C-alpha cells in the first residue's frame, strides 16, 4: 500500500521484500503476513470449518446426503494457495503500474541513508534514499526446547502444508492458536490445545472463557497449565508421529502425548534485530524488538519511519498498518496533517464461535474509569438459524460497556456469535460518532438477525442469572 | 492433454490386457501406463512398421498416422500422436523466448498462464488443440508468469490467461480470459492469414 501511495505523488519508490524461509523451508510471495500466512488463509480455512458445520445443520433443513461427509485437506489447501498466488501477482502488477521498483532481496542498513539488498543467490546491491519505511513485521516464536525447530510447525507452515496435519497439538492460547485449533477441529481433526495460563491475553477475559468453553464442548481437548519441554520424533512421515513431553507450571508433574503434528503459536517476534538498525542509530526495545515511534510513525532517526506489527504499543492489525501508512505518505508528500486514530479500532477473532470487539474490555474499563463509573449491559442470544438444528442454545452473547460519567457513552462493545465481524463493523462507526446507551436503545432492531441483540441488552444485577434472549418465547431442547 | 503413444514392436507388452489369441499388429488398445493419469493408447507394430516409424521420426516428420503401406488389421484405427508435441512448447528463459518466439519465421501464440489460475487450466489444453488443428502453420509457446516474471512484465501481462499473437517479433493480436473453440479458431486463422 505505502509504495503505491507514495508513487502517486511522483516519488521514486523501491520495495525490498524478502521472506526468510521457515526452519522447514516454507516461503511465500509478495504481500506480507496477512495475505500469505495470516488473515486471508486463516479466514478461508475458518470458512471451510463453518461449511462443515453448515452441512451438518442442513440435514434438519431437509437436505439429504449420505451419512458420512469427509474433508480433503489437499483440495482446501490448493484452493487457498491458488487464491493467494493471484493476490501475490496482483501486488506485482500494482507496483509495476505505479512504477515502484520491486526487489526480492533482504534489506539491511549499512550506513546513513544507505541500504544493502541481498537476493536469494547472495548478490548484493547498495541503494540510497531520502527516506526509509520499515515494515518488516514479525515471525512466529519457537519454544527453545529440544526438537522444536526440527519437528514443530508454525502458522507460517500450516496454510501451505502439503499433507493433512492429522492429530494435532496446538501450543499456545493466542488468537492464532485458538483460530487454528478451531478450524483444524472443524475440518474433522483430533485437536488438543496446550495452554500455559490464560486464553486470549489482552482480550475481555469473560468472553475469552466463553470461547474456550464453546471449543471444549465441541470436541477440542484442553491441557491447562502445562508447557512442552521436549519434542521427539517417533516415526518419520507426512505426517509422522511426534512425542511431546510437558511439565506442569504449578508443580513437577510430567505428561507425555503422541501427535502427528505440533503447531507452535506462542507469540511472534519483530524482525528488527538483523536489519542493521544499530548502524543508523534507530532505537528499539531490546526486550521485545519493537520500535517506539511518535504519533507520526517516525523513529528517533528523522528520515526513518516504521509501520505495522513492529511498532511498540500499537495494535497488530492489517487495517491499522494500512491506514497508518496511507496517512503517513499523505503527511509527507501531500501536505496533510491527519494522524492515525488508534482509538476504538474494531477487531474480530475467528474462533469457532466468533468474537467481535471494539473499545475497552471489561477489565480495562474498570481499571481506567473505576467499577462504580461504568455500567455493563448484556444479553445471551440464540441465532434463529441454530434453532432448527437445535444446537448451541444460550452460547451467543453480547456485552456493552458504558461510561456513566459521560452520558453513558458506549466505550466497549463485545459480541460473541456468528458473523461477529459483520456485526461489529457498523458498531465501530457508531462508537466513533460517540453513541450513547440512550441512542442505542432508541435504535430499532432488524429482525430476525443476531445484531438486533445490541438494542436489547439489559443490566446485570449482582447474584442473578444472566439475561436470556428475550426474543424467544420458548426454547425447545429436544434434539 | 498430451498423451504419450507407446509403440511396441513385435508383441504386446501392455500389462493387464487379455491375451486372447494374441493381437494383430496395428491393433490399438487402451491401458494405463504407470505414472500417467490419462488413458494411454498402445499401438502394436510389426518390426517393419517400427522401422518405418523410426525413419519418419528421423526425418523430423510428425508420425501422425501409420504409413498406409503397413499391414493394418481390420479392426484397428490409427491414432494421431497429436502434433502437440511439436507445435507447443514451454519457454525456458528469456533467450529461449527470443529464439523460439520473437525470431520464429512462423507466427506464434504465447499463452501466459499461472499455476494458481483455474481458467488457465481450461484455456491451455483448448488452445493447444486448436493450434494442433492448424497443422503446423502456427506454434504455441507457454509462459508461466511466476517462473518468468520479467517476461510477463515486459509484455504487460496483468491478468491470466493472457494470449498474445506474435508475428515477426511483433504483438499483432491479444486476448485475456477464456475463449471457446470457435473463437480460438477464428483468432488463429486471423493470425495465420494476416
What does the DSSP assignment read for A165-194? --SEEEE--SHHHHHHHHHHHHTT--EEEE
Helix, strand, coil content of chain A in percent (nearest 5): 35, 25, 45
Is A93's CB within 8 Å of B158's CB? yes
Rounded alpha-carbon distances, angstroms, from residue A384 to A60, A447, B35, B192: 13, 10, 52, 62
Chain mean pLDDT for chain A: 92
Q: Which three cell numbers stand for residue A477?
A: 431442547
Please give the Cα distance from A334 to A357 (Å, whole number): 33
- A470 or A195, which is more confident: A195
Cell numbers 440512550: residue: A438
CB count within 10 Å of CB B92 equals 12
The predicted structure's pLDDT at residue B194: 57
**Pick from A19-23, A95-99, A117-121, A471-475: least confident:** A471-475
Instruction: Indicate whether A33 pLDDT > 90.
Output: yes
Is A89's CB within 8 Å of B114's CB? yes
Is B160's CB within 8 Å of A89's CB? yes
**Chain B hits for A89, Cβ within 8 Å:** 114, 116, 145-146, 160
Residue in chain A nearest B144 by alpha carbon: A89
Name the strand (E) or helix (H) holding B164.
strand B162-167
CB count within 10 Å of CB A378 equals 19
Q: What are phi and psi of A15, to 5 degrees?
A: -115, 130
The predicted structure's pLDDT at residue A341: 85
Active site residue B117: yes
The predicted structure's pLDDT at residue A228: 97
The predicted structure's pLDDT at residue B150: 87
Q: Is A427 helix (H, G, I), strand (E, B) or coil?
A: helix
Mean pLDDT, range A326-339, rounded to an integer: 91
Are B81 and B69 within 8 A, CB to CB? no
Cell numbers 544499530: residue: A278
Nearest CA to A402 out of A449, A454, A473, A452 is that of: A454
β-strands A409-416, B5-9 pairing:
unpaired
The predicted structure's pLDDT at residue B177: 95
According to DSSP, residue A1 is labeled -
Is B146's CB within 8 Å of A96's CB? no
The predicted structure's pLDDT at residue B48: 61
Q: What is the dihedral of CA A63, A69, A71, A75, to 10 degrees?
A: -60
Buried b (16+ CB within 10 A) or exposed e, A437-462: beebeeeeeeeeebbbbbbbbeebee
The predicted structure's pLDDT at residue A8: 76
Q: Which of B114, B116, B147 to mutate to test the interface with A (most CBs of A within 10 A)?
A: B116
Model pLDDT for residues A84-137, shown as the tens digit of each residue: 999 999 999 999 888 899 999 999 999 999 999 999 899 999 999 999 999 999
- Is B115 in CB contact (< 8 Å) with chain A? yes
The predicted structure's pLDDT at residue A383: 96
The predicted structure's pLDDT at residue B74: 42
Confidence of residue A3 (pLDDT cuts 50, 70, 90): confident
Q: Which of A28, A87, A89 to mutate to test the interface with B (most CBs of B within 10 A)?
A: A89
Instruction: Indicate whether A289 pLDDT > 60.
Output: yes
Name the strand (E) or helix (H) holding A278.
helix A277-280
The predicted structure's pLDDT at residue B62: 43
**Chain A hits for B153, Cβ within 8 Å:** 92, 96
Give the residue numbers of A annotated as catalytic, written as ranges: 447
The predicted structure's pLDDT at residue B80: 42
**Chain A hits for B118, Cβ within 8 Å:** 82
Stretches in chain B below the pLDDT threshold 50: 1-23, 25-44, 61-84
Instruction: Indicate whether A463 pLDDT > 90.
Output: no
Instruction: Indicate whether A205 pLDDT > 80.
Output: yes
Of A84, A85, A96, Cβ closest to residue B153: A96
Q: At what angle do helices A39-58 and A73-97 cross, to 10 degrees?
A: 140
- Distance (Å) from the alpha carbon of A93 to chain B's nearest alpha carbon: 6
Is A82's CB within 8 Å of B158's CB? no
- Asked whether residue A176 is marked as a ligand-binding residue, the answer is yes
- Asked whether residue A426 is marked as a ligand-binding residue, the answer is no
Please give the Cα distance from B70 to B7 (Å, whole number): 14
Instruction: Indicate whether A476 pLDDT > 90.
Output: no
**Pick from A343-357, A396-410, B49-63: least confident:** B49-63
Q: Which three cell numbers stand for residue B45?
A: 507394430
**Chain B hits for A82, Cβ within 8 Å:** 115-118
Residue A357, beta-bridge partner list: A347, A414
The predicted structure's pLDDT at residue A172: 97
Are A165 and A148 within 8 A, CB to CB? no
Q: Is A247 helix (H, G, I), strand (E, B) or coil?
A: strand
Instruction: Indicate whether A332 pLDDT > 50.
Output: yes
Rounded alpha-carbon distances, angstroms, from residue A406 to A159, A175, A375, A403, A436: 45, 32, 11, 6, 9
Alpha carbons within 13 A on the beta-carbon side of A281:
7
- Is B160 in CB contact (< 8 Å) with chain A? yes
The predicted structure's pLDDT at residue A340: 86
Q: Which three cell numbers stand for residue A179?
A: 483460530
Angle of CA points B54, B55, B58, to nearest 5°? 90
Is A86's CB within 8 Å of B145's CB? no
The predicted structure's pLDDT at residue A459: 84
Q: Which residues contact A382 (CB under 8 A, 6 or more apart)?
A: A392, A393, A394, A396, A469, A472, A475
The predicted structure's pLDDT at residue A145: 96
Confidence of residue A68 (pLDDT cuts 50, 70, 90): confident
Instruction: Indicate whether A465 pLDDT > 70.
Output: no
Instruction: Indicate whether A230 pLDDT > 60.
Output: yes
Amino acid at each position: 500500500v505505502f509504495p503505491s501511495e507514495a508513487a502517486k505523488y511522483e516519488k521514486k519508490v523501491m520495495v525490498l521484500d524478502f521472506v526468510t524461509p521457515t526452519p522447514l523451508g516454507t516461503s511465500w510471495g509478495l504481500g506480507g503476513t496477512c495475505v500469505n500466512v495470516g488473515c486471508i488463509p486463516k479466514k478461508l480455512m475458518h470458512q471451510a470449518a463453518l461449511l462443515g458445520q453448515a452441512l451438518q445443520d442442513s440435514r434438519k433443513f431437509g437436505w439429504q446426503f449420505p451419512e458420512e461427509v469427509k474433508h480433503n485437506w489437499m483440495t482446501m489447501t490448493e484452493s487457498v494457495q491458488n487464491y493467494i498466488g493471484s493476490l501475490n501477482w496482483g501486488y506485482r502488477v500494482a507496483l509495476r503500474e505505479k512504477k515502484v521498483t520491486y526487489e526480492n532481496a533482504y534489506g539491511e542498513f549499512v550506513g546513513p541513508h544507505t541500504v544493502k539488498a541481498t537476493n536469494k543467490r547472495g548478490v548484493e546491491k547498495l541503494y540510497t534514499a531520502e527516506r526509509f519505511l520499515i515494515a518488516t513485521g514479525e515471525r512466529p516464536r519457537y519454544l527453545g526446547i529440544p526438537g522444536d525447530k526440527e519437528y514443530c510447525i508454525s502458522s507460517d507452515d500450516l496454510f501451505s502444508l502439503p499433507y493433512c496435519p492429522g492429530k494435532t497439538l496446538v501450543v499456545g492460547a493466542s488468537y492464532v492458536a485458538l483460530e487454528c485449533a478451531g478450524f483444524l477441529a472443524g475440518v474433522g481433526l483430533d485437536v488438543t490445545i496446550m495452554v500455559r495460563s490464560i486464553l486470549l491475553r489482552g482480550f475481555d477475559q469473560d468472553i475469552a472463557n466463553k470461547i474456550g468453553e464453546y471449543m471444549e464442548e465441541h470436541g477440542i481437548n484442553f491441557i491447562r497449565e502445562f508447557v512442552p519441554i521436549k519434542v521427539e520424533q517417533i516415526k518419520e512421515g507426512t505426517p509422522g508421529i511426534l512425542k511431546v513431553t510437558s511439565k506442569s507450571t504449578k508443580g513437577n508433574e510430567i505428561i507425555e502425548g503422541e501427535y502427528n503434528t505440533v503447531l507452535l503459536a506462542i507469540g511472534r517476534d519483530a524482525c528488527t534485530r538483523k536489519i542493521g538498525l544499530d548502524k543508523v542509530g534507530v532505537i528499539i526495545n531490546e526486550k521485545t524488538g519493537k520500535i517506539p515511534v511518535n504519533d507520526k510513525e517516525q523513529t528517533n532517526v528523522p528520515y526513518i519511519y516504521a509501520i505495522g506489527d513492529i511498532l511498540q504499543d500499537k495494535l497488530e492489525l492489517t487495517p491499522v498498518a494500512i491506514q497508518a501508512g496511507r496517512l503517513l505518505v499523505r503527511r509527507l508528500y501531500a501536505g496533510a496533517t491527519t494522524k492515525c486514530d488508534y482509538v476504538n479500532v474494531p477487531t474480530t477473532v475467528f474462533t469457532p464461535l466468533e468474537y467481535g470487539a471494539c473499545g475497552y474490555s471489561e477489565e480495562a474499563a474498570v481499571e481506567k474509569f473505576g467499577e462504580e463509573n461504568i455500567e455493563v449491559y448484556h444479553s445471551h442470544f440464540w441465532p434463529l438459524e441454530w434453532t432448527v438444528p437445535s444446537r448451541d442454545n444460550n452460547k451467543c452473547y453480547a456485552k456493552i460497556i458504558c461510561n456513566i460519567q459521560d452520558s453513558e457513552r458506549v466505550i466497549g462493545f463485545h459480541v460473541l456469535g456468528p458473523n461477529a465481524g459483520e456485526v461489529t463493523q457498523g458498531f465501530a462507526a457508531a462508537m466513533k460518532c460517540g453513541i450513547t446507551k440512550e441512542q442505542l436503545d432508541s435504535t430499532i432492531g432488524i429482525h430476525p438477525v443476531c445484531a438486533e441483540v445490541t438494542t436489547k441488552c439489559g443490566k446485570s444485577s449482582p447474584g442473578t442469572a444472566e439475561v436470556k434472549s428475550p426474543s424467544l418465547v420458548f426454547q425447545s431442547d429436544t434434539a | 492433454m498430451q498423451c504419450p503413444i507407446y509403440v511396441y514392436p513385435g508383441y504386446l507388452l501392455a500389462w493387464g490386457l487379455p491375451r486372447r489369441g494374441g493381437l494383430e499388429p496395428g491393433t490399438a488398445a487402451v491401458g494405463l501406463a504407470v505414472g500417467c493419469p490419462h488413458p494411454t493408447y498402445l499401438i502394436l507394430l510389426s518390426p517393419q512398421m517400427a522401422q518405418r516409424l523410426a525413419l519418419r521420426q528421423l526425418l523430423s516428420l510428425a508420425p501422425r498416422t501409420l504409413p498406409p503401406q503397413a499391414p493394418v488389421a481390420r479392426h484397428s484405427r490409427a491414432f494421431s500422436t497429436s502434433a502437440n508435441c511439436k507445435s507447443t512448447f514451454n519457454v525456458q528463459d528469456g533467450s529461449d523466448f527470443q529464439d523460439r518466439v520473437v525470431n520464429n519465421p512462423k507466427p506464434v501464440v504465447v499463452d501466459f498462464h499461472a499455476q494458481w489460475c483455474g481458467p488457465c487450466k481450461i484455456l491451455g489444453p483448448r488452445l493447444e488443440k486448436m493450434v494442433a488443428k492448424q497443422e503446423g502453420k502456427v506454434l504455441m509457446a507457454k509462459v508461466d508468469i511466476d517462473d518468468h516474471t520479467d517476461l510477463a512484465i515486459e509484455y504487460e501481462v496483468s491478468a491470466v490467461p493472457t494470449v498474445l499473437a506474435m508475428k515477426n517479433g511483433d504483438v499483432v493480436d491479444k486476448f485475456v480470459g477464456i475463449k471457446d473453440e470457435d473463437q480460438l479458431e477464428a483468432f488463429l486463422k486471423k493470425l495465420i492469414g494476416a
